[in-house]
Each structure stands twice: as structure tokens, then as C-alpha cells.
Amino acid sequence: MNFGCVSHEILIRPFERDDVPMVLGLMHELAVFERYSEKFRVRESDIVEHGLGDSPCFGVFVAEVDGGVAGIAVYYIVPWTYDLKPVLVLKELFVSKGFRGLGVGGEAFG
């Protein structure tokens, strides 16, 4: 992808155990941005248990830009609705301040 004069490699992938500290950091950064950081209670163990456990309640896609984690998309799946088909619901989409303007949220997650 080419954004202006600089080309950036953007990779979107499901998160893994090694990503948990960075995912937590971005979740906290979002809490600060949306002004609820004083109520933020998520810990690494919560992300592991509820996102990577045997029956995950949510999933996370991470966006890597030039090898660094730039953003996250947190989602959950409704197993079925009126038509008996699963639906993916996007809960949070956040791109860290230093990576905004590169098209990560619009191009990569869109």
C-alpha cells in the first residue's frame, strides 16, 4: 500500500498470546482517548482467559505496520440471528496515535 510519499507494509492478523501486552496497552490507550481510563479494569489475564481460552468470548485482529502493532479491532460473534447465520460484531476499532493517517483503520480493517 502506498500512502503519500511513504510506503508502509500493513498486515492484519488474529492476535496471539505474545500480542497480549500490546493489545492491553492499546485497550488502555483507547480508554484514555475516550476518557474512561479511571474505570478501566482489564488485565492481561482477562484477555488470555476470555480471548484465547477454550471458549473465547471475543477476538482481536491486530494491524501491524512495518512490524509494529499499530491498531486493534475487537469483535465478538453472535452465533446466529433470524436467518440462522453467524454475525461478526465490531466492538472496538482503535489505531494508536503514532500510526493514524496511514490508512490502517480505513484500508486495512475496512
DSSP 93: E
The mean-pLDDT minimum among 30-34, 54-58, 67-71, 75-79 falls in 67-71
Closest CA to 26 of 110, 103, 105, 92: 92
Number of continuous H segments (helices) and E segments (strands) in the chain = 2, 6
DSSP 14: E
Neighbours of 23 (CB within 10 A): 20
- Asked whether residue 34 carries a pLDDT value surpassing 80, the answer given is yes
Cβ atoms of residues 28 and 96 within 8 Å: no
Query: Strands across the sheet with 59-65, in order?
Result: 10-14, 59-65, 68-78, 87-95
Neighbours of 58 (CB within 10 A): 15
**What Rg, from alpha-carbon coordinates, does the chain have?**
15
pTM: 0.84
Q: What share of the chain in percent tops pLDDT 70?
A: 90
The H or E element containing residue 46 is: helix 44-52
pLDDT, one tens digit per residue, over 90-107 is 999 999 998 888 888 775
